[in-house]
Chains A and B, each alone.
Chain A
């Protein structure tokens, strides 16, 4: 199917038959405005369904009119990935909200996609429970978090969205509602579409409801920080805590430019437990620099090191490969000051300053990609100004791409869901 251009001439007109059709199934349907662009691409319509059923009718109508559809929650990651190659309808999920069921005794929660993660966490905290996942982007919805699969420091202990998601309801491109998984943590019946939709950037279906497993909120925490004296020490210090029996919930590395790095270990548990573990962690880390123990998380503990207008990368590697990524980033920082933050689990985020020449950013990406791939890792460009985005390979090499394309063709044969946003032009 040929890609259609997006120009001002496509803007909807009064008496628009398509808008009427959308309005008929979803009364919030309206013409898009300049505020509804996705990564710079204008939309024609916006609609905010309030239920899975309404979302299904909406996508059914979109299918009838061959509309290209992008889902939007809080819009915190709307410019990640590639811009859509065409766009007609933005499905706004922010009216699809609320906790459907919090089965506290079962440590399970059913929540609609548009619910802000912070709102969900507040609700769960009332029962001393949590979704054990950091939200690096304030305001993000649970649906967007699943669709892009963001994670933070505590992934080291709790895993990521894919590990916490136990059931999902979504609307296919043809308007059919499908679900997989269920409401129990242990369940191997049928294929796990929750995993496929997690991190799929809206290209396989519109997520309307998810079921997540919960964890108890820890009663106490300690944060052990060491400012390492030199570069190599940061990795060695992080590896020492990670390999200990202290069960850290997070081991984070921070490296700014060519400065010596900081390692932060988070210990969660009960009051008289975390004290002893913090002491033991301090003992381990003392060899690498000045150790500090606090009870509060540092400000912006889960934040991404991306600056407005800059380029934000996700660099993965094996756990030992983290050392090489840090070294490469430090070497590149001789010319371009990079901010590196991330987990000893093998996921580092790298911020390239705003205003960096696109060719230089492309060089940074290539160099980091070379290092990351040596240990089986990858580099993905999350945020970037348009000129940089045009100069870099956003996704890099993707093993299994042929199978991914075949999956996309099965679920969305018209390539109407978030077209072009994902790997290999999917």
Chain B
């Protein structure tokens, strides 16, 4: 650990004592992100205040050959911000300045630690908001959103983080400060900005983010429809989309998820529902009214037995409360649970839900389903009791089998939570060795020493400069990382 002590001393000299933590008790605050069953205590935590601080920290890591991991609010659900045991954790939560909110340019310029919801709050007086709305938006940071290409319920209509970031300042793994894009669109050259968003911290650290602001809609209408089962609810979703309606959001919850939400937040969803849909339309008033009538009709046609229309903002908030609290609410009906994140083509929804139910029936592992039905993004919640021997393993197996179902139906192993530490092992099921080797080429262009968030996303990264195919087995760094995890 002599190396670490020297590195910490260098960081203290540059960033100040208060910005560098090495005390074991303090370090443990940062041992996990939102995926709390992976825990690694970092060797050093730094709390930079400026881009120059971040660059200095990264350069120090580079000189010492020590890995670093960037972390925002630590809400990620794939272990993307899991620290490295011998590494430096760069915590961006001290960088929380909103530099500009400019309605004329429809842009905001933000520090990476700015909380997602604060952007919409700052833009609201001008009649604008920031569209990507992950469920954790009250606490998650913009920098984390950039790393994960975060989605949210309203991404169906408005797109993901990648569609809303127009500029970045980043510190490369070499410690250089580079600006990509800005307020203007279509910067010349490769779309490195597009590649950086969603790269899960493996290409450097974002230190300033320019985002697109979206004009607030004239009208928002929200309905809650209750169905006998997920089959009918899925039918309604297909009918709505098939009719050419693009709602701002269509969310589905099944009976078990509803039960959990009721227990936790008393959202008062219709009794006896096998599934509920929350459908939201927004835009110019005449369009929204006409399409709202159409949505109601498709719900009726697909056997909805109760439809509630939000009369005001309070009621709308109540509809959403059940949905947005669903993950945490599951804690009320199960001591432990796995939040899965997979994607299927929307039309495969009824089939995949039936298969998940079979899987659950066969194994006795309960699965609650909550999802962004409009874009086929499933969030099955796999329930278990860690105190009962064998249950965690059984849940893990069911959770993995659900991902296999997604791949089998032409979908993806992650729609918005990221690959991180958790799903690296599933990457070869979705991509060929050649695909993964090609992705490594981008990694090597940015980070030849592979010090930026190593061990995430890719199961077996090849050494940079090595030609594809020669490298066999996990990289030593990754092995070290894994050894700390389990």
Contact = CB atoms under 8 A, between A and B. Distances in A.
Interface string B154-191: 01000110110001000010001011101111111111
B345 A189 contact: no
Contact of A188 (B107, B148, B167, B286): B148
Contacts of A269: 284, 287
A376 B431 contact: no
A187 B344 CA distance: 10
A399 B180 contact: yes
A232 B179 CA distance: 32
A184 B376 contact: yes
Size bracket of the A interface:
35 or more
Given A196-B195, A276-B286, A401 B160 contact: no
Contacts of B427: 189-190
A255 B44 CA distance: 58
Interface centre among B151, B155, B188, B193 (most CB of A within 10 A): B188
Nearest to A203: B190
A401 B287 contact: no
A159 interface: yes
Interface centre among A186, A375, A378, A400 (most CB of B within 10 A): A186
Contact of A321 (B184, B411, B438): B184
Interface stretch (B8-16, B211-219, B299-307, B386-394): B211-219
Interface string A247-269: 10000000000000000000001
A210 B258 CA distance: 39
B413 A189 contact: yes
A173 B103 CA distance: 44
A30 B360 CA distance: 59
Interface in A167-192: 172, 176-180, 182-192
Nearest to B210: A376
Contacts of B347: 103, 105-106
A219 B246 CA distance: 13
B414 A189 contact: yes
A191 B202 CA distance: 10
Interface stretch (B25-33, B67-75, B236-244, B308-316): B236-244
Nearest to A267: B284
B331 interface: no
Given A193-B442, A319-B105, A178 B435 contact: yes
Contact of A162 (B102, B191, B218): B191
Size bracket of the B interface:
35 or more
A198 B417 CA distance: 25
Interface in B410-456: 410-419, 423, 427, 430-432, 434-439, 441-446
Interface stretch (A134-142, A333-341, A405-413): A405-413
A18 interface: no
Contacts of A402: 176, 178
A80 to B, nearest CB: 12
Contacts of B410: 182-184
Interface centre among A172, A177, A188, A404 (most CB of B within 10 A): A188
B441 A407 contact: yes
B183 A375 contact: yes
Contacts of A396: 188
Nearest to B291: A270
B287 A195 contact: no
Interface centre among A107, A196, A320, A403 (most CB of B within 10 A): A403
A189 B413 CA distance: 7
Contacts of A376: 167, 182-184
Contacts of B241: 105, 107
Contacts of A198: 191, 194
B195 to A, nearest CB: 5
A273 interface: yes
Contacts, number: 269
Nearest to B412: A187
Given A186-B343, A195-B195, A163 B186 contact: no
Contacts of A180: 431, 435, 438-439
A217 to B, nearest CB: 7
Contacts of B155: 186
Contacts of B438: 172, 176, 178, 180, 193, 411
B442 to A, nearest CB: 5
B192 A395 contact: no
Contact of B445 (A172, A187, A195, A410): A410
A228 interface: no
Contacts of A346: 183-185
A380 B178 contact: no
A239 interface: yes
Contacts of B437: 176, 178
A115 interface: no
Interface string A385-426: 000000000011011111110110111000000000011100
Nearest to A412: B441
A316 B291 CA distance: 36
Contacts of B286: 270, 272-273, 276-277
Nearest to B168: A400
A204 B179 CA distance: 22
Given A105-B242, A108-B345, A406-B446, A400 B192 contact: yes
Given A190-B457, A200-B190, A182 B412 contact: yes
Contacts of A128: 244
A404 B189 contact: yes
A380 B412 contact: no
B340 interface: no
A410 B159 contact: no
A400 B189 contact: yes
Given A346-B185, A378-B188, A406-B446, A399 B434 contact: no
Interface of B: 102-107, 127, 148-149, 151, 155, 159-160, 162-163, 167, 172, 176, 178-180, 182-195, 197-199, 215-218, 238, 241-242, 244-246, 283-284, 286-287, 290-291, 343-347, 372, 375-377, 410-419, 423, 427, 430-432, 434-439, 441-446, 457, 468
18 contacts: A105-B241, A176-B434, A180-B435, A180-B439, A184-B411, A185-B376, A186-B343, A186-B412, A188-B414, A191-B198, A269-B287, A273-B284, A320-B105, A321-B183, A399-B179, A399-B180, A400-B192, A410-B442
Closest 3 CB pairs of A and B: A195-B194, A216-B244, A376-B182
Given A106-B347, A188-B198, 11 more contacts: A105-B346, A187-B411, A193-B195, A196-B442, A199-B186, A216-B246, A217-B244, A316-B186, A318-B184, A378-B188, A400-B179
